[in-house]
Amino acid sequence: MSDLNHFDGKGNAIMVDVSSKEITERIAVASCDVHVNPATMALVLEGGIKKGDVLSVARLAGILGAKKTPELIPLCHPLALTSAELDLRCDEKLGIIKITSKCKINARTGVEMEALTAVSIAALTIYDMCKAVDKGIIVNNIRLLEKTGGKSGQWRGK
């Protein structure tokens, strides 16, 4: 168990001091699913959503989300990401837009929150752009798939 703590001796929330941790390459991969109805999927794929190119805008929003994570999640360290990639794939048969993010950094702390924020913001952008034509959009399965680097090394989800 880690001795890192987000509270001081008086119970006040603090940002964890990572200054004594080793700088290593750290990578995190996260994903989520956006379920849309068949008509919405067709509009997304043919560029028929009035707000614009859903997948391109969502990709950019996800990258921005990764960069803005410490402004959105209390106590996250501001990080100089070396890479933030988003992949959006449409499964027409299942009606799912699968979003995957991969964030990299050379730092003393990991990028799991950046990867998770990236997929979350991309999914919310899809919701916002498509809500006029599909009230039943479902965003789910937001999860960390993998992380590498640091003292704990590699972790992969099931």
Distance between CA 33 and CA 146 in Å, rounded? 16
User: Which H or E run includes 154?
Assistant: none
Catalytic site includes residue 91: no
Rounded to 10 degrees, the C-alpha dihedral 43/45/94/139 comes to -70
Residue 132 · residue 38 · CB < 8 Å: no
Which residue in the block uniquely carries the two structure tokens 């008509």? 39
Distance between CA 144 and CA 54 in Å, rounded? 23
Distance between CA 116 and CA 16 in Å, rounded? 19
**Catalytic one among 3, 87, 128, 134?**
128
Residue 54 · residue 124 · CB < 8 Å: no
Catalytic positions? 128
